[in-house]
Chain A
């Protein structure tokens, strides 16, 4: 389920703009432009509009290849189903963003499997690591050897597609006892420099594994230096942040920045702060599993300068 996280009083106007949040079979469609978010039913007409969109890409996350416990003994199978879902989309995405936890234990064969399965889509894939991908002795060296081409430092990068500036951040390396994700001063300085020359009308998409907003800090669902990192992005009209890690869809609007976590293809996790629960794999009845796993399709609507997000479950 999509859930609006808490809003500050200053966000009241934005909240009003979001009141028409709605669901359809395909999922909720968010359109974000000029700092104002709205949502409409995802209908066949929208699909037609999206066909003429100038940009279409997919976010996949938390595939956890190597995990085989009760919550999902076949994570490879469900990842393949997710790939099938993407292949069946009416518009072929021009690229894929994987927002981390590709693997469960950072093993070489797990990374190889992920690369092999993703190859089936035959489009470029941009990966950012999750904390499960940096467990090797080299603190993420194996991940970088597999997927780090063209990245800086721990694996961050930026690129431009159809007038949208994409920024992939890494907030999972050398996690501190402060209990959350962190980016570190080097990456934050890089980010400020990366966007310095851009016009404020450039749509920005930021992606990282752990939420770049406080989704639920007692469970570590946040990034301790995210506010500092996002400072240089406040002047832009539209900033869309895509995260994984929490295996569920949560959206938060904060001024010009909208944050969206997405589903896993492997297993669900409890809703933030569920009493008595922990942020680990959640076992649901087998016939329910595919209703809580999924991927996200993102389109820039033609001529509107807005991004539309559609969250799709496997079932």
Chain B
């Protein structure tokens, strides 16, 4: 009970962090989670045979990193062949920097029923 006092500031900081995160999320819900992490970088998780998030929106110049969390291998291949990763075994990653605005649809080269999209804005 006596130990409660020192905890309060920590809680307050956590609350503030949560509030500011929520504030930064609200103006641009599409792909905002990825943008919030590090400017110029975004991440996509491959899990359970899905790209997550399936669609992200990033500014031009963003480096997008895909990481495979499945036990099976996956790959990342642009529908228009603009980029193609090597096979990604469990835990492996692939990054591609999107310099030009546009919409980039991609799929898994091993499981082409898996689809995703990167929307690159100015």
Residues of A that sit less than 8 Å from B by CB: 69-71, 104-106, 131-132, 135, 137, 175-180, 217-220, 278-281
- In the bound complex, do residue B71 and residue A132 qualify as a contact, i.e. CB atoms below 8 Å apart? no
- In the bound complex, do residue A106 and residue B87 qualify as a contact, i.e. CB atoms below 8 Å apart? yes
Q: In the complex, A280 Cα to B70 Cα: how many Å?
A: 8
- In the bound complex, do residue B113 and residue A135 qualify as a contact, i.e. CB atoms below 8 Å apart? no
> Is B30's beta carbon under 8 Å from chain A?
no
- In the bound complex, do residue A278 and residue B49 qualify as a contact, i.e. CB atoms below 8 Å apart? yes
Partner of B90, one of A69, A137, A177, A178: A69
**Best-surrounded residue of A69, A137, A218 (most CB of chain B within 10 A):** A69
- In the bound complex, do residue B105 and residue A177 qualify as a contact, i.e. CB atoms below 8 Å apart? yes
- In the bound complex, do residue A105 and residue B110 qualify as a contact, i.e. CB atoms below 8 Å apart? no
Which residues of A are found within 8 Å of B115, using beta-carbon distances? 177, 179
**Best-surrounded residue of A71, A217, A279 (most CB of chain B within 10 A):** A279
- In the bound complex, do residue A281 and residue B107 qualify as a contact, i.e. CB atoms below 8 Å apart? no
- In the bound complex, do residue B112 and residue A175 qualify as a contact, i.e. CB atoms below 8 Å apart? yes
**Best-surrounded residue of B73, B86, B90 (most CB of chain A within 10 A):** B73
Closest residue on chain B to residue A224 by CB atoms: B112
Query: Which of B88-107 touch A at CB < 8 Å?
Result: 89-90, 105-107
Partner of A178, one of B105, B109, B112: B112
Size of the chain B interface, CB-CB below 8 angstroms = 21
Total A-B contacts with CB atoms under 8 angstroms apart = 60
Q: Can you give 15 contacting A-B residue pairs, CB < 8 Å?
A: A69-B90, A105-B87, A131-B109, A131-B110, A135-B110, A175-B107, A177-B106, A177-B107, A179-B107, A179-B112, A179-B113, A180-B113, A218-B113, A280-B48, A280-B71
Quote the shortest CB–CB distance from A278 to chain B (angstroms): 4
Partner of B113, one of A105, A137, A219: A219
**Known contacts A105-B73, A105-B87, A280-B70; is-contact A132 B49 (Cβ 8 Å):** no
Query: Which of B53-103 touch A at CB < 8 Å?
Result: 70-73, 75, 79, 86-87, 89-90
Closest residue on chain B to residue A69 by CB atoms: B71
Quote the shortest CB–CB distance from A232 to chain B (angstroms): 26
- In the bound complex, do residue B71 and residue A281 qualify as a contact, i.e. CB atoms below 8 Å apart? yes
**Best-surrounded residue of B79, B111, B113 (most CB of chain A within 10 A):** B113
Closest residue on chain A to residue B81 by CB atoms: A174
Per CB-CB distance, the 10 closest pairs between chain A and chain B, nearest first, are A179-B113, A278-B49, A220-B113, A135-B87, A280-B72, A69-B71, A177-B107, A175-B112, A131-B110, A177-B79
Which residues of A are found within 8 Å of B109, using beta-carbon distances? 131, 135, 175
Which residues of A are found within 8 Å of B89, using beta-carbon distances? 104-105
Which residues of A are found within 8 Å of B107, using beta-carbon distances? 175-177, 179
- In the bound complex, do residue B87 and residue A176 qualify as a contact, i.e. CB atoms below 8 Å apart? no
**Known contacts A105-B73, A105-B89; is-contact A180 B49 (Cβ 8 Å):** no
Quote the shortest CB–CB distance from A174 to chain B (angstroms): 8
- In the bound complex, do residue B48 and residue A175 qualify as a contact, i.e. CB atoms below 8 Å apart? no
Which residues of B are found within 8 Å of A131, using beta-carbon distances? 109-111
**Known contacts A131-B110, A177-B115; is-contact A279 B79 (Cβ 8 Å):** no
- In the bound complex, do residue A135 and residue B86 qualify as a contact, i.e. CB atoms below 8 Å apart? yes
Which residues of B are found within 8 Å of A218, using beta-carbon distances? 113
